[in-house]
Amino acid sequence: MSWRLRVKAAATAGLALALAYAPPAHGFGVADQGTSGAQFLKISPSARAAAMGGAYSALCDDAYAVYFNPGGLGFLREVETVATRNSYFQGITHNFGAVAAPLLAWTDSRRARNELGAAAFSVTSLTVDGIERRGVVETDDPTDTFGASDFAYALGYGLPLSERLGVGVTLKALNQRLDAAHATSFAADAGALYRNDRLSLSGGLRNAGTRVRFASASDPLPLLFYAGAGYRLSESWLLAADLSLPRDHRAGFSFGLEHRRMFSEELGAAVRGGYDSSNTDAEGLTGLGLGAGVYFRRVQFDFAWLPYGDLGNTFRYSLLVRF
């Protein structure tokens, strides 16, 4: 057996084991709502994905695959760097940055750049400042304020098993702080992506790992199973849908539509819309996603608006650069 077949067999076996040893889905749902730690892992990056309702697991063949579906990294043929700024509600700030590269990106051989797969590294942060501290006896005036922060450092790898099928894994180290308390935990994602000229299909899991422990408190990670599909209606229109099964919430469905137009070989634009049923808990207008994007040469800028009802509006800004 050649080294390449051995690598493919190992990648396939690793994905199968990750799915086989994940907790069974039948115990998930509303009954476990509010019982997971590290909730910041649920906040997805990419303004493009947000505008399409989060239906992105079957479309992500870019650096954002390290979060949405590491199987998409297997199709990466160029070095990419991405960054997302999320102006969340209630003064919460969420940031994401990643760099991804095929392992043969800098070789002069005639082999395909992604023949050995692609690797990605990402950093996610969520920070909150000015939380009011009060004493044992409740008073009108706080004694002082404190902050909280969450960080996730991820390393992902994707391998193409064929021209149409890619599999991958992402390993994450989590560090959380709430005032003077700290917690460290570890998580893993696994995913697969199949695609042809028009149709793409995805499946996998996110956030399987160790429990989050703050002092004597202990909570499981927000484990989630997902499946998705994308279909290119034409050169200009793209439709996508995702089904998610989280351990601490009801099953969710999201879908999105994108219309892209190229004005020249170097300049283009896109408009997007979508809906996410898992973002409808707050009162008021929720679940909706709207956005737009601009493409110029090897640079892409995207914007998204997501209302969260009484909690307020959120705005996401993303930048993608290919080298």
DSSP 67-112: HH-GGGGGG--S-EEEEEEEE-GGG-EEEEEEEEEETTTT--SSS-
- Computed on alpha carbons and rounded to an integer, the radius of gyration of the chain in Å comes to 20
The predicted pLDDT at position 141 comes to 67
The predicted pLDDT at position 249 comes to 84
CATH of 3-322, one of 2.30.110.10, 2.40.160.60, 3.40.50.300, 1.20.1050.10: 2.40.160.60
Nearby residues of 212 by Cβ (< 8 Å), 6 or more positions away: 37, 38, 174, 176, 183, 185, 218, 219, 220, 221
What is d(CA 246, CA 260) in angstroms, rounded to the nearest whole number?
Answer: 32
What is d(CA 176, CA 186) in angstroms, rounded to the nearest whole number?
Answer: 11
The predicted pLDDT at position 248 comes to 87
Q: How far is CA 182 from CA 128, 170, 178, in A?
A: 15, 23, 6
Report the candidate in 320, 295, 300 with the shortest Cα–Cα distance to residue 82: 320
Residues linked to residue 180 through DSSP beta bridges, in sequence order: none
CA dihedral 26, 41, 227, 60 (to 10 degrees): -170
Residues linked to residue 30 through DSSP beta bridges, in sequence order: none
What is d(CA 239, CA 188) in angstroms, rounded to the nearest whole number?
Answer: 28
Tell me, what DSSP letter sits at residue 183? Answer: E
The predicted pLDDT at position 108 comes to 62
* Per-position b or e across 161-177, b if 16+ CB within 10 A of its CB: beeebbbbbbebebebb
Tokens matching residue 321: 């650069």
Tokens matching residue 222: 């927000």
The predicted pLDDT at position 139 comes to 63
Mind listing the pLDDT tens digit of every residue in the chain (323 residues)?
Answer: 444 444 444 444 444 444 433 444 444 555 566 678 899 999 999 999 999 999 999 999 899 999 999 999 999 999 999 999 998 776 788 999 999 999 987 776 667 788 899 999 999 999 887 666 666 566 666 666 667 889 999 999 999 999 999 999 999 999 998 877 889 999 999 999 999 999 999 999 999 999 998 877 889 999 999 999 999 999 999 999 999 999 988 899 999 999 999 999 999 999 999 999 987 776 778 899 999 999 999 999 999 999 988 888 889 999 999 99
The predicted pLDDT at position 2 comes to 47
The predicted pLDDT at position 295 comes to 95
